[in-house]
Amino acid sequence: MSYATLKTTLDNGVLTVTLNRPDRMNAFNGQMFTDMLAVCDEIDSRDDVRVAIFTGEGKAFCAGADLEKAGDTFNYGAESGEIDWTQKRDVGGILNLRLFHCRKPLIAAINGAAVGVGATMTLPMDIRLAADSAKIGFVFVRRGIVPDGAASWFLPRVVGLGKALEWTLTGRVFPAQEALQGGLVRSVHAPADLLAAAMSIAREIADNTSAVSVAVTRQLLWNMAGMAHPMHANIHESRGIYYAGRSADAIEGVTSFLQKRQPSYPGKVSTDLPPGFPWWDEPEYR
């Protein structure tokens, strides 16, 4: 598929998605929101996509919301009567919920400035790397607004409550090394080496794992982190092991290990997820 604000390249199971508005530092607008939702659908629907890497064209990853409306950027107008907040929701949050629901692993290669929604959109991604020149900021309070992208849920889970409070209450922009020390990114690289490092992780997943196992594991970790007791995790993992253990992927995984060869897993996310998955109650995505 082609997109107005994104470039995509598929390389042997790894889809690289490049935010592509370099003249605006890849600032987030309505078209990018639409394109990002569509590319998530593409990632999930294509069995030849095992992993997705997100990065930015040019010097920035994403400089936040496009401020072309100046002071009215975040003014959506007054409404009469009581507002139903389950329906009238922040688009950054809608995007992040879609990223959260993805069936494939997502890697952020933060090549430059990632500010506002440009920072929060990386939070539901599973692994984040940054160029040593990147700057990151949850700057909302410095623009007179509050965090978007369900960041008040995601950010404390990624970096802990104390660091999340520091970064969101000050709204300051900080360097990649601080993001590394705070646990937001797993590694920092020279700009020329960033995509290769992200691709190396993606290849580890695409070349060595069961797509179905990865899809279930990703959702287990994200969802069980919010459960009140580890019994919930034990129940759902038991269910997963029961169904996975009878699958062709489990046979291939054990056989290839014993034969000391590269596995070739036949399972497909589009057709072979366990019955009834996901097994926990959650709000319907919309």
Res 37 pLDDT > 70: yes
Cβ atoms 98, 149 nearer than 8 A: no
Looking from the CA of 173 toward its CB, the CA atoms found within 13 Å total 14
Average pLDDT of the residues in 57-61: 97
* Per-residue model confidence as pLDDT tens digits over 204-250: 999 999 999 999 999 999 999 989 999 999 999 999 999 999 999 99
Res 126 pLDDT > 50: yes
Average pLDDT of the residues in 83-110: 88
Average pLDDT taken over every residue of the chain: 93
Residues 6 or more apart whose Cβ sits within 8 Å of residue 277? 216, 219
Predicted pLDDT at 71: 47
Average pLDDT of the residues in 133-143: 96
Which domains are present in the chain? 6-68+80-205 (3.90.226.10), 209-286 (1.10.12.10)
Tokens of 35: 């394109």
